[in-house]
């Protein structure tokens, strides 16, 4: 009898672990098929985002929580911990999964992160601290991901021990969840050929850009990292990095959208980066945008190329304005 592959939802913070999450998506998608790996919820205007996240996460078999060193302490524009906000997307994803006995929650520690102290977590997600975490090391990436894949494969072999679920969590029927997943997956695949992983567009903590899909990245590309900037008395910018989905080394591409004042963001320029190329095991470690007095913004991009037991750090500097992208110089 054929056993269906597990449905996996990857939860992460874009400003901290987008590179690791994208790399993980590629590895798990290669094993179970991209249509079985869900990374971002694509929200149409007027959609209840709490309901949409609940539907998407509740329809998966496993929630992978990619946690960097500042996962629990990342601050919003007001200086408050984002995890303390009941409307924080990461918190909503985690709350939904922890309430469901049919969803396995697996913390994944990257970039030297450790599990947060239970007292630093909101009450609604505090049971996360009792889940066994798996570390994903940059230099042992293949071996660590192989261990994770083995764990996910066990989900296909039958009911698991539900003792790990917090006491009092309500039961959930798996049948409707599977049907919801199929509906969500079918809808996502039907929109312009956009792959399932790509398109809820939020900035790195500064507000929603409102631009989704091909306007942000070229067709056939996957989103690697994204950052937006909304500064007082300055134009607004959203910068996305993408790479072709094929495994071979390929140019990393910058896509810039910008707007003055309250005008809608518009496409400004798309530019492939110079060599070195973004290889299969490359991932972005840092992407920043800082406002300048003339209305432009200075940017810094770092990514790491991993090959066997060696890794190389690449740093690029660039400027963006409503006139386009200057650089980058790598």
Residues 237 and 312 in one domain: yes
pLDDT of 324: 92
Residues 112 and 170 in one domain: yes
pLDDT tens digits for range 225-240: 888 888 777 888 989 8
> 280 in a domain, yes or no?
yes
> 200 in a domain, yes or no?
no
C-alpha dihedral (114, 117, 122, 123), degrees to nearest 10 = 130
Q: Report how far apart, in Å, the C-alpha atoms of 231 and of each of 3, 188, 295, 320 are.
A: 51, 33, 9, 14
Whole-angstrom Cα distance, residue 38 to residue 63? 9
> 201 in a domain, yes or no?
no
* Reported confidence tier of residue 89, pLDDT bands at 50, 70, 90: confident
> 20 in a domain, yes or no?
yes
Whole-angstrom Cα distance, residue 47 to residue 256? 26
pLDDT of 175: 38
> 1 in a domain, yes or no?
no
Residues 13 and 124 in one domain: yes
Q: Is the pLDDT score of 165 beyond 60?
A: no
CATH code, domain with 290: 2.40.128
pLDDT tens digits for range 190-226: 333 322 222 223 223 333 333 444 467 787 888 888 8
Residues 138 and 41 in one domain: yes
pLDDT of 277: 78
pLDDT of 41: 55
pLDDT of 107: 94
> Percentage of the chain surpassing pLDDT 70?
76
Averaged over 138-163, what is the pLDDT? 74
Picking from 141, 159, 190, the residue at the C-terminal end of a domain is: 190
Radius of gyration for the chain, computed over Cα atoms and rounded to the nearest angstrom: 19
Residue 272 sits in which domain range? 213-329
Higher per-residue pLDDT: 281 or 62: 62
Number of domains in the chain: 2
Residues 182 and 223 in one domain: no
Averaged over 173-194, what is the pLDDT? 35
pLDDT of 162: 31
Contacts with 156 (C-beta within 8 Å, 6 or more apart), sequence order: 3, 4, 5, 6
Residues 175 and 242 in one domain: no
Residues 186 and 140 in one domain: yes
> 143 in a domain, yes or no?
yes
CB atoms within 10 A of CB 312: 12
pLDDT tens digits for range 90-104: 998 999 889 888 889
Whole-angstrom Cα distance, residue 142 to residue 245? 19
* Reported confidence tier of residue 297, pLDDT bands at 50, 70, 90: very high
Q: What is the mean pLDDT of the chain?
A: 76
> 203 in a domain, yes or no?
no
Higher per-residue pLDDT: 279 or 145: 145
81 phi/psi in degrees, rounded to 5: -65, 130
Residues 218 and 186 in one domain: no
Whole-angstrom Cα distance, residue 6 to residue 151? 11
Residues 271 and 145 in one domain: no
> 133 in a domain, yes or no?
yes
* Dihedral sign from CA coordinates of 175, 176, 181, 183: positive
- Nearest alpha-carbon partner for 170 in 264, 100, 250, 80: 100
Residues 25 and 85 in one domain: yes
pLDDT of 111: 87
Residues 149 and 291 in one domain: no
CATH code, domain with 75: 3.40.50.10140
Picking from 129, 158, 190, the residue at the C-terminal end of a domain is: 190
Residues 30 and 113 in one domain: yes
Whole-angstrom Cα distance, residue 82 to residue 226? 18
Averaged over 230-255, what is the pLDDT? 83
């Amino acid at each position: 009898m054929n056993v269906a592959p597990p449905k996996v939802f990857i939860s992460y913070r874009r400003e901290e672990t987008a590179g690791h999450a994208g790399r993980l998506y590629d590895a798990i998608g290669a094993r179970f098929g991209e249509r079985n790996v869900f990374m971002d919820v694509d929200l149409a205007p007027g959609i209840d985002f709490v309901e949409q996240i609940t539907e998407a996460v509740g329809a998966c078999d496993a929630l992978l929580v990619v946690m960097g060193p500042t996962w629990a302490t990342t601050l919003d524009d007001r200086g408050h911990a984002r995890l303390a906000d009941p409307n924080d997307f990461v918190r909503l994803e985690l709350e939904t999964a922890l309430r469901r006995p049919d969803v396995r929650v697996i913390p994944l520690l990257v970039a030297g992160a450790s599990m947060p102290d239970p007292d630093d977590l909101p009450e609604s997600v505090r049971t996360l601290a009792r889940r066994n975490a798996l570390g994903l090391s940059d230099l042992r990436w293949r071996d660590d991901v192989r261990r994770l894949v083995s764990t996910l494969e066990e989900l296909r072999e039958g009911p698991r021990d539900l003792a790990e679920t917090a006491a009092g969590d309500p039961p959930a029927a798996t049948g409707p969840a599977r049907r919801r997943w199929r509906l969500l997956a079918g809808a996502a695949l039907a929109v312009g050929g956009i792959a399932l992983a790509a398109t809820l567009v939020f900035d790195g903590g500064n507000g929603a850009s409102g631009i989704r899909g091909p306007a942000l990245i070229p067709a056939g590309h996957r989103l690697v990292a994204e950052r937006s900037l909304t500064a007082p008395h300055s134009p607004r910018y959203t910068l996305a990095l993408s790479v072709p989905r094929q495994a071979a080394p390929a140019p990393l591409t910058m896509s810039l959208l910008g707007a003055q004042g309250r005008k809608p963001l518009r496409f400004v320029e798309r530019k492939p980066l110079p060599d070195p190329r973004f290889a299969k095991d490359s991932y972005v470690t840092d992407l920043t945008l800082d406002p300048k007095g003339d209305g432009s913004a200075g940017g810094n991009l770092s990514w790491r190329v991993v090959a066997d037991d060696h890794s190389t750090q690449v740093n690029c500097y660039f400027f963006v304005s409503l006139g386009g992208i200057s650089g980058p110089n790598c």
